[in-house]
Every structure is written in structure tokens, then in C-alpha cells.
Amino acid sequence: MKLVLFSDVKALGRKGDIVDVADGYARNFLLPRKLAGEADKGALAQIEAQHKAQARREANELAEAKALAVRIEGAKFAVRAKAGGNGKLFGAVTNADVASAIAGALSIEIDRHKIEVDQIKALGSYSVEIKLHKSVVAKTKVDVVAA
């Protein structure tokens, strides 16, 4: 029996997949629990429309991430931190500090978990990677200056 899955089913498929299962499995397990429904023309058209909408959303997110990456890579960022006379910082510059520097310079909010920063414990210029999308990574420089 051909069914459309309404939710993820372990070892069978993901939401929106069209699967072919035994009649008993469909009647006794999937249909009573509303995990799946019959794959008629209406359901197939609805699934196709959902797939197209999802593809459009993903394309828009990718385009926005690429545009944001261009903005980030073209900008300069400075983080102010307290430092001693020898250039060593009192503490360290974290990804949250970098996120606030980006927010101050470009007026955009970046989740601090998407920013990868090596240990910054001295004044200078450091490279930073920001994961904006699963396939878009922006690389920029952050200057750490004395406060």
C-alpha cells in the first residue's frame, strides 16, 4: 500500500516521503496513529507543493547568507579589551565579544555559536570564521586593540 508519511518513522522514512508498506502495517500501525495517510492525487500534489516551497525557502536563505557573507568579509571589526603593558589581555576575547563587534559595526545580529574564534589572549589581528549557512562560511579579520 502506498502511503505519505505525516511524520518521521524510524526505519521507514521522513515526513513527506512516499513509501510502499504492507497492508497490515499500514492498517494496524501507521494509519491509526496518524503517522501516514493514503497517497492519492491530492496528497501527492500537496507533498509536491511543500517540497517546492521548501526548496524556495532554502534558496532564499542561501542567497541571504551569501549577501551577508559579502558584507561581513568587506568590513573591519575592532574589539576593545583591557591589556597589560606587554600586550597581553586581562582575560580573553570570546566569540560573544566578536558578535557584539559585528553588531556594532554592521547593525546585524549574529549568533555567537556560529562564530569560530581561536584563543585570543593578546593584542593584534586575528582571523575569524562565521558559519552563516551549512554551505556559506564568511572569513574576516578582527583587530584586538587596547581599551
77 vs 97: CA distance, rounded Å: 11
Q: Are residues 107 and 141 in the same domain?
A: yes
Residues 6+ apart with CB under 8 A from 89: 81, 82, 83, 120, 121, 122, 123, 144
Looking at the fold, whether 45 and 22 belong to one and the same domain comes out as yes
Q: Are residues 81 and 9 in the same domain?
A: no
Identify the CATH number of the domain in which residue 53 sits. Answer: 3.40.5.10
Overall average pLDDT of the 91-99 stretch:
93
CATH label of the domain that carries residue 119: 3.10.430.100
**Based on the domain organization, do 73 and 124 belong to the same domain?**
yes
Per-residue pLDDT tens digits for 118-145:
889 999 999 999 999 999 999 999 999 9
Using pLDDT thresholds of 50, 70 and 90, give the confidence band for residue 43. confident
Whether 13 and 33 share a structural domain: yes
Q: How far is CA 135 from CA 63, 65, 75, 109, in A?
A: 11, 9, 21, 19
Same domain, 113 and 130: yes
- The per-residue pLDDT for 126 is 93
59 shares its domain with 120: no
Q: What is the average pLDDT across 47-68?
A: 94
Query: How far is residue 9's CA from residue 135's CA, in Å, rounded to a whole number?
Result: 28
Q: What pLDDT band is residue 147 in, cutting at 50, 70 and 90?
A: confident
Q: Which of 71, 83, 57 is nearest to 144 (CA)?
A: 83
Residue 47 has pLDDT above 90, yes or no: no
- The answer to whether 95 and 117 have CB atoms below 8 angstroms apart is yes
**Residue 74 and residue 9 share a domain:** no
Confidence of residue 73 (pLDDT cuts 50, 70, 90): very high
Residues 90 and 135 placed together within one structural domain of the fold? yes
Question: 137: helix, coil or strand?
Answer: strand
Say yes or no: 46 and 102 in one domain.
no
If one counts the domains in the chain, the total is 2
Q: What is the pLDDT of residues 98-115, one digit of tens each?
A: 999 999 999 999 999 999
Examine the domain organization and report whether 58 and 80 are in the same domain.
Answer: no
Q: Give the domain range for residue 139.
A: 66-146
Domain identity same for 14 and 70: no
Confidence of residue 16 (pLDDT cuts 50, 70, 90): confident
Instruction: Enter the DSSP assignment of 112.
Output: G
Cα 73 from Cα 136, distance rounded (Å)? 12
In whole angstroms, what is the distance from residue 86 CA to residue 98 CA?
Answer: 22
